[in-house]
Structures are given as C-alpha cells and as structure tokens.
Structure 1
Amino acid sequence: MIKTLLPFLILILLLSCQDGPKAAFNEEFVKVNPKKELPFEKLVGEYQLDEDSKRRYKINYNHTLKLTVKKDSTFVAENFLDYKTDSLQLKRLEGKLSYTNDFKDSFMYLQPTDSNFIGGGGFEIYCRKKDNVLALYVYTPFIPATKENNMKYREGDYLRYIKINH
C-alpha cells in the first residue's frame, strides 16, 4: 500500500510547490523513463556541473564542481554550492546515497541519506538524447531574504551535473 501511495504523494508535493525551476530545461535532455530498469551501476561515475548552471549561479568558470557516484553507494561532491548560504564551498563532502528503481511501479529515486548536501532532496535523473549520457539534476530550494543570509533571495532552481566518464 505504501509503495502505491508514495509516488502519488511525492507527485502532489512537487505540484504544490510554488517556486518552480527558473532554469529552462534544455530540450536535448529528457527525464529517464521510470518504467525502464536502470541499474545503479549505470549511475556510477563522475559528473561535472555544466556551463549553463555555472552562469545562472554566477560560479567562476575556473572552478570545477564535480559529483562522483561510487559503486558502494557513496558520493563525493568536490567544490559544491551550499544550499543554505548560496555560496560556493571549495571543499569535499562525502555521503551515502539511497537508490530505488521500482520500474514495475514506475518509481525511481536517487537521494543522499543526510541533508548536508542539498537539504534532503533527491537527484532527478536525465539522459541526453543524442548520446544517452546521464545527467543528475539537483534541485536547489527557495531561499527567502533574511538578515542571517545577508538579504539574499533565490527562487528554486536546478543544477545540472553531466556524466563525464561513461
């Protein structure tokens, strides 16, 4: 019963969000079909933040932001955007991943097990049409303007990490 309700509840939660992504979804990428099996081994590899994401987040082009998914269900983020402060962290962060691919019930989810990287949200899995290269879309939540974050404001948006070794 929970397996049946969980995708429905997640869909309702996503549809009720008022702060949609401001990034235009590139038509050369399509969301991976959750009705088809995607073994975790295909997700293993190194991903790099694309130039469009760097431009939208005003990240210096000299900085390389990488996300590595390892066979043992861990990930390493090198030079990542801190979603709480909206600032670039030039350091490494390691964590564990939880992956569910229930293609029979059309449910696919890839999520860090702790909330230090992206606030507990998951990665959306996309594929580039022309060569089937995988991409992970990382949702960055809405940040209201407050004195604690120096009056910064950001609508919800996506960072796109494209797999570089396949």
Structure 2
Amino acid sequence: MKKLFLFTITLYLLSCQDGPRAALNENFESANPKVKLPYSDLIGGYVLDDDSKKRFNIKDTAKMDLQIKKDTSLVVNNHLALNDRSLLNKSLQSKLYYINDLESIYLGLFNHEISSSGRLGIYYRKSDKTWALYVYFKPLKGQEHGDYLRYIKVK
C-alpha cells in the first residue's frame, strides 16, 4: 500500500504543468541551440499575434509591435505593464545581448520592464519557419502560471 501511495504521489508531481500556457502551442517550436542562428536573421519587425491578443484581452485595433535593429537595440511599442498587464501606450527601448554558442541560445534584455524573465524566447512556426519572439509575464497574484506574448516576424 505504501509503494502504491508513493508511486501515485510521484506520478501526480511529474504530471503537474508549471509552464506558461502559450508555450504549449504545438504550432511553434523553440529554436535549436545546436543550429547556428545568426543575429541578422532576427533583425526586423514583429507584430503581436491574435492568440496573444485574445489571452490578454487586448483589442484587435491595438497596434503592438517590436523592432530588432542591427545595432542590437530593441523598440517595443504599446507594451503591457509587468505588474498588472495593463496596456501602456508608450514605447520602451532596450539594448540586447545575444548568445548562440551551440550549447545554448539566449536573447537577453537590459530593460527589465519588457519581460519578467529579462529575455526573449526564440521560437519558430513549424509550418513556414517564421521566427517568433516570446515575452514572458510572471503570474499575477493568485494565478498559478505565467504567460507569454508572442510576436511573429513580419516578412
């Protein structure tokens, strides 16, 4: 009986989901750190996808985008406040640092008002290999999971 109880508890703990909801979208996959991804491939404009707008109750008319520039700077227009997820109609800028040493891949931010984790997750859409950047938001008080805003690269 004790073995069955321990097995059940272990199975329950292993099946718990700690991750954010948006990361579970099977249409997107994390960038593989073992494949060289030049920084130049990330440069360009990105727009907030419709799924993120629905999950965060953002009006379809709200124009939210971000721009990664050659000089390793990032500009985010109409961002969300990290503490209460309210829409702020202002731009934020940050310098970026990028690491892809074939062991890990990391796109870090110097401005910690943009993402709770201090970085942008690099993903791609499986169907057409379009790049996507995930901006992490920690859980609000009383919530179990954090969430992501997903920005899709505009061609």
Q: TM-score, normalized by length of structure 2?
A: 0.83
Tell me, which stretches of 5 or more residues in structure 2 are unaligned? 1-16
- Helix, strand or coil at the partner of 1:89: coil
Q: Which amino acid aligns with 2:57?
A: K
| Count of residue correspondences | 139
Give 1:121's match in structure 2, choosing from 118, 123, 126. 118
The separation in 1 between residues aligned to 2:58 and 2:122, in whole angstroms, is: 23
Preserved CA contact (<8 Å) 1:19 1:142: no
TM-score by length of 1: 0.78
Cα drift, residue 22 of structure 1: 2.4
User: Which runs of 5 or more structure 1 residues have no equivalent in the other structure?
Assistant: 1-17, 146-152
- The corresponding residue for 1:156 is 146
Q: Partner letter of residue 107 of structure 2?
A: L
Which residue does the alignment assign to 2:98? 99
Inter-partner Cα distance in structure 1 for 2:52 and 2:116: 18
DSSP-derived class of the 1:38 partner: coil
Please state how far the C-alpha of 1:120 moved relative to its aligned partner.
Answer: 4.6
Aligned positions of 1:1-166 closer than 5 A = 19-23=18-22, 25-103=24-102, 106-144=103-141, 155-165=145-155
Q: Report percent identity of matched pairs.
A: 44
Corresponding residue SS for 1:68? strand
Structure 1 residue 68: Cα displacement: 0.5
